Amino acid sequence: MVPVAPVSAATAAAPPRIDLDMYRRDGLIVAPVALPGTLLDRMRGSLDRLLENSADIAPESLICPHIPNGVRHPASEARTWFEYATQPFILDLVEQVIGPDIVLWGSQVFCKPARKGREVPWHQDGEYWPIRPLATCSVWIALDDATPENGCMRFIPGSHAAGSLYAHHDAARPDRVLGLEIDAQAYDVHTARDDVLMAGQMSLHDVFLIHGSAANRSERRRAGFVVRYMPATSRYDRSVPDSQTQAGVSFSLSRRPIWLVRGVDRAGNDFVTGHGADFGLVPRHSDDL
C-alpha cells in the first residue's frame, strides 16, 4: 500500500509540496491535497452524465472526455471536463514534477463497474504514446474510493527509474482494457504496491512506471479520471499511425488537440490540429484561460 501523507482539501493558499524524492524513487506519489468536496460532487455528477451519454462505449475506456468529439457528449460537457483537467491546484502539483511549461495532451475515465469491471494489464504508458522525448506525468483522480477489493491501480515501485520501455506483447482479451501487456521478465509482481485512494484523492505517476489493475469483482464501482500532462520541452509527434484501438474503441492520436495550459512551448508543438469549430471557447493556450 502507498504510504498516505495527511491530506487537506485544496485551497487558494500556497500549493502544498509533494515529496519529490519519493516520486523520483517510486515513480508514483499520492498528492498531499484532495479535491474540495464541492468539486468532487460536481465531477461525480459529470461522470453520471458521461456514462449515460456514452453508454455504448466501455466505461473503462472513456478517452478524452475533455475533448468535444472524444466521447459522446455535448461540447458543454467537454468544457466542464476541460475545466477539471486545468484546475490550478492540480497544475501546481504537476509543475513540481515536470516544470513550469505544461501541455495537457490526454485524459481518460477508467470506470470499472461493480462485479464486471475489466482488468488493466501490466504496462508502461509510454508504450502507447507519441511524445518525444518521452515524458508525462499522469494525475489519477479518484472519483470513487479505490481499494484492492474494487481493482485500484497497482504499480511496481522504482520500475520507471531506468527511463526505458520494456517489451510488451499482444494480450488483447474482451475482459481487458488494454491490448498490450508488458513481458513478465520486466518486473517482479511480488513487489507490487496498491495505489489506494479515497474519493477525491489523487496520485501522480511517471510515464515509465509499470502499473496495471485487477478486475473489479466487488459490489462497489471504481471510477478514476486520469489527466496526462507533458513538459512543453517535449514534442507531441503527429506522424504516428492514425488509428489505434483500445478495447474496441478507435481514437486518433495524430489529430488530437493539445493545449499549452501553463508556461511557454519550447518544442514547436502544434496547438492548432484538432481544434475544430466545435471547440467553441475552449482555449488553446494558457493566455486564453
Ligand X SMILES: O=C(O)CCC(=O)C(=O)O
The answer to the question of residue 30 lying near ligand X (CB under 6 A) is: no
Q: Minimum distance from CB of 126 to ligand X (Å)?
A: 10
126 binds ligand X (CB under 6 A): no
Binding mask 194-223 for ligand X (x = CB under 6 A): -----------------x-x----------
CA 61 to each of CA 28, 107, 223: distance values in angstroms, whole numbers, following the listed order? 22, 10, 11
The correct pick among 50, 51, 153, 258 for binding ligand X (CB under 6 A) is 153
C-alpha span between 45 and 47 (Å, rounded): 5
ω into 133 cis (within 30 of 0): yes
Shortest separation between residue 195's beta carbon and ligand X, angstroms: 9
Residue nearest ligand X by beta-carbon distance: 213
Distance between CA atoms of residues 70 and 90, nearest Å: 22
Which of 224, 227, 253, 258 is the binder for ligand X (CB under 6 A)? 224
Residues of the chain by 3-state class (helix, strand, coil), percent to 5: 25, 30, 45
Which helix (DSSP H) or strand (DSSP E) does residue 168 occupy?
strand 168-170
Contacting ligand X (CB under 6 A), which of 138, 147, 159, 246?
138
Q: Which is nearer to ligand X, 60 or 95 (CB)?
A: 60
Q: Which CB sits closer to ligand X, 177 or 279?
A: 177
State in angstroms the smallest separation of the CB of 264 from ligand X.
27
4: left (phi over 0), alpha (psi -120 to 50) or beta: beta
The minimum distance between CB 77 and ligand X, in angstroms, equals 21
Q: Are strands 210-213 and 153-155 parallel, antiparallel or unpaired?
A: antiparallel
For binding to ligand X (CB under 6 A), which residues are involved? 110, 120, 125, 138, 140, 153, 211, 213, 224, 226
